[in-house]
Structure 1
Amino acid sequence: MSLIRDLAEQIIAAHRNDELCIPIPQFTPSNPPPRIDNEAATDHYELAGALAAIHMGFIESDAKVLGKAWSRMAQGDGGFNAQKWPNRPEHFDLLPWTRNMNPNAFAECPTRLGLYGVMPDADWVKRMVDAELPTVQLRFKSDDRSKIRKQIKEAVAASKDSKTLLFINDYWEQAIDAGAYGVHLGQEDIATANLDQIRTAGLRLGLSTHGYAEMAYADRFCPSYIAMGAVFPTNLKMMPTAPQGLGRLYQYAKLMSHYPLVAIGGIDEGSIHAVSKSGVGSVAVVRAITQAKDPRAAIKHLQELMQ
């Protein structure tokens, strides 16, 4: 166990300043770290990688995935190097070159979706279409199914024959009926949505992810794009993980570069330039547009900052 602990400490020391330790947990006797399963691990590199990840603030499911990635990287490199960080598809048992041969892959979308506005209703969608925002998501929330259908129908009509690509959040059945360009689903929606029906209808699929385990899971479905975050704190919805920060986003973007990527969560004019440098082809914003005094001017300014 001393060897495993020593290797884990080497990893933590090597990456302490890489903005990967967010947040650093404070473990106590009453709040011990999750137990690393020695029996399930293939080697001490896996155990060390998982242990380091736990102490760097990664949630347990991500730590397990990272542990296996450290093991694969060490085996592929012919040895352990704490200065490196697993960020290649083969480290995570991903096969990006098979996407074009996968009959279950969803329809493709542009690699660079650009500035991506997440809007609360069809009126806002229309304003974004008029402003020629490249990508828009309708995130309308209601328990009234007739209102939902009306909002989606109006949003699709507004985006038809325009330069704007429209994704519908959550309501995939209504999106199919209205002929939307695509749908965006959270991880919690994957199990209940009929992915075959979405695929057969020709809609693009975007999936939200919040760490390594969810990215690996999303990859199984070959979506059209993968959204990664939340990069910063956000009030838009409850997040399953703490804000990931720029350091983790940069690593995620390297790993999943075979997908169109969208950075999500708490991004504004003060952070959008640094986020864009991560390698993502799109940045999602909400309040940076909806709370701006002049949304059109805000869009132009944000797009300039993305360059």
Structure 2
Amino acid sequence: MTSRLPSPIYPVVDHPRWVERLGAAGARFIQLRLKNLDPETLRSQVIEGQEAAARHNVRLVLNDYWQLALELGIDYIHIGQEDLDTTDLEQIRAARIAFGISTHSHQELDRALSVRPDYVALGPIWETKLKKMIWDPQGVEKLTEWRRIIGPDMPLVAIGGITKARASSCIAAGADSVAAVSDFIASDDPEYQVRAWLQTCSS
């Protein structure tokens, strides 16, 4: 189990070109979340992302698709609660691949901690329009609560509605790393956002 994450910022992207762009700008922990692709395109894009990650010293996280992550030797896998029942965590551990788990409630946190992940994510911290959520915004206070429950050594990721202006409050509340989608890939200057987020979250 890791004691820290590779970076205080954690961009979540929908295409491997972002791994190249954000990695070149200084991001070192990037999640590749690919949806609705045929198997050949999926595999090709994951490999493209993996190659970009290697060029820029990025620790790449693949959302779901754990079998492909095992086959290709991806650094991390991110697992949603709905996928825990069908994911072979023992195979993942045997391959020495780290994994994180999404949580939205005490029940989900208990379940996540029972399988000893390498990090837990809490969200949505604020309202998000990118993904339909059944959960109300958690607020930064819940990050402090999660930190108290999980202890000082388990890495904690904040996600959901987070902007650069909000990121430092998540770190102050107990998050090790702050994840976001729109503030990076929907920005007019994604490279600037990486540098600005790193300054904000590292100060």
Residue 120 of structure 1 is matched in structure 2 by 14
Report the 3-state secondary structure (helix = DSSP H, G, I; strand = E; otherwise coil) of the residue aligned with 1:198: helix
Residue 223 of structure 1 is matched in structure 2 by 117
Report the 3-state secondary structure (helix = DSSP H, G, I; strand = E; otherwise coil) of the residue aligned with 2:86: coil
Q: Which has the higher strand share?
A: 2
- Give the whole-Å Cα distance in 1 for the aligned partners of 2:180 and 2:34: 15
Report the 3-state secondary structure (helix = DSSP H, G, I; strand = E; otherwise coil) of the residue aligned with 2:91: helix
Residue 179 of structure 2 is matched in structure 1 by 284
- Does residue 164 of structure 1 match 2:46? no
Report the 3-state secondary structure (helix = DSSP H, G, I; strand = E; otherwise coil) of the residue aligned with 1:270: helix
- Give the whole-Å Cα distance in 2 for the aligned partners of 1:194 and 1:120: 24
- Unpaired runs of 5+ in structure 1? 1-106
| Greater C-alpha Rg | 1
Structure 1's consecutive aligned runs of 4 or more residues displaced over 6 angstroms after TM superposition are none
- Of 151, 155, 158 in structure 2, the residue corresponding to residue 263 of structure 1 is 158
Aligned residues between the structures: 201
- Does residue 274 of structure 1 match 2:185? no
Moved more, 206-215 or 235-244: 235-244
- Does residue 235 of structure 1 match 2:158? no
Alignment root-mean-square deviation, CA: 1.5
Contact 1:114/1:134, CA 8 A, preserved across alignment: no
- Give the whole-Å Cα distance in 1 for the aligned partners of 2:51 and 2:118: 22
Cα offsets for 1:169-228 (capped at 9, x unmatched) = 011111111111010010001001111111111110010000211111100110111111
Q: TM-score, normalised by structure 2?
A: 0.93
Report the 3-state secondary structure (helix = DSSP H, G, I; strand = E; otherwise coil) of the residue aligned with 1:249: helix
Sequence identity percentage: 33
- Give the whole-Å Cα distance in 2 for the aligned partners of 1:109 and 1:251: 19
- Unpaired runs of 5+ in structure 2? none
- Give the whole-Å Cα distance in 2 for the aligned partners of 1:191 and 1:275: 30
1:161 Cα deviation from its structure 2 partner: 5.6
- Give the whole-Å Cα distance in 1 for the aligned partners of 2:5 and 2:75: 15
- Give the whole-Å Cα distance in 2 for the aligned partners of 1:112 and 1:245: 24
Residue 23 of structure 2 is matched in structure 1 by 129
- Give the whole-Å Cα distance in 2 for the aligned partners of 1:290 and 1:237: 15
Residue 304 of structure 1 is matched in structure 2 by 199
Residue 184 of structure 1 is matched in structure 2 by 78
Q: TM-score, normalised by structure 1?
A: 0.62
